Amino acid sequence: MPAVQGRIRWNSSRNAEDYSFLRGIAGESAKITLPGPCYIHFRAGRARISRDIYPDLADFWSDLVAAYEVELARLGEAGCRYVQLDETSLAKFGDPKIRSALAARGDEWEALLDRYIEVINAIVARAPKEMRVGMHLCRGNRMGHWQAAGGYDLVAQKVFRGIAIDFFFLEYDSERAGSFEPLKALPEHKAVVLGLVSTKTAELEPREFLVGRIRDCARHVGLDRLGISPQCGFSSSDKSNKIMSADRAVEKLQLVADVAREIWGE
């Protein structure tokens, strides 16, 4: 369980250095992923954020935003133009058990959602102008396990309309993620990359099934605003390869590429 026992400050150029290396060997634009800013508070709650350090929680959020501002600036200086925030907290509000656990510790989930959106927007507003920022939402993927269930229905209006981000990467590899119906809330200038290929199971999804899922979603969001991807990162799979071998991960990535070509062309 995370805890905050000191002032939050930016203190490492490691991500920018890693990006510089990646940029030097990649033939295409590279993406850097960063943990979402709300994870620590969502998991820890006020009780594990030191009151000695942060008697006023507003200062915690201000320091957090400032740290992200420096991080994005450093990435921009390294040439990064594409960042993904992995904000896994937001999708979990759809689970009644999660909402009950938050209430038990004294947090009202709707107030948290409003605060989290405010913080995310403050960070995005401070990103370099030439940088595009997307957001990934899922319900947990630690070694094939998940932490929450429930669709995007409860948060769709505020998340898709209220967050100043133009494209979302959404977990959609199981019934746990709900239907495509909430995507009707997506404004016309925003896009969704559907996480239809699972990193939690080695079973290879049938190509025809994935094509059908995309076309089903297109009843709510135009094909020109849709994409396909794995539902989460393969690096969070079981490191012993009992769940996902490296070869199967490559097969799944190839499947994503093949389906994308079938739907959208080269």
Best CATH choice for the domain 14-264 from the list 3.30.750.24, 3.20.20.210, 1.10.3720.10, 3.40.50.1980: 3.20.20.210
Predicted confidence (pLDDT) per residue in 193-237, tens digit: 999 999 888 899 999 999 999 999 999 999 999 999 999 887 765
* Residue-level pLDDT at 244: 81
pLDDT(84) > 90 = yes
The ranges assigned to domains in the chain are 14-264
- The per-residue DSSP string of 33-64 comes to EEE-TTHHHHHH-GGGB-TTT-SSHHHHHHHH
Predicted confidence (pLDDT) per residue in 45-54, tens digit: 999 999 999 9
* Residue-level pLDDT at 243: 76
* Confidence at 238, pLDDT banded by 50, 70, 90: low
Predicted confidence (pLDDT) per residue in 138-166, tens digit: 886 655 555 677 789 999 999 999 999 99
Token look-up 């746990």 returns 176
- Is pTM, for the whole model, over 0.95? no
17-27 as b/e: b if 16+ CB within 10 A: eebeeeeeeee
Whose CA is closest to 82, among 145, 132, 13, 147?
132
* Residue-level pLDDT at 240: 54
Token duo for residue 72:
């994005």
Predicted confidence (pLDDT) per residue in 58-77, tens digit: 999 999 999 999 999 999 99
Sheet of 167-171, strands arranged across: 32-35, 82-86, 132-137, 167-171, 191-197, 226-230
How much helix, strand and coil, in percent to the nearest 5, is found in the chain?
A: 45, 15, 40
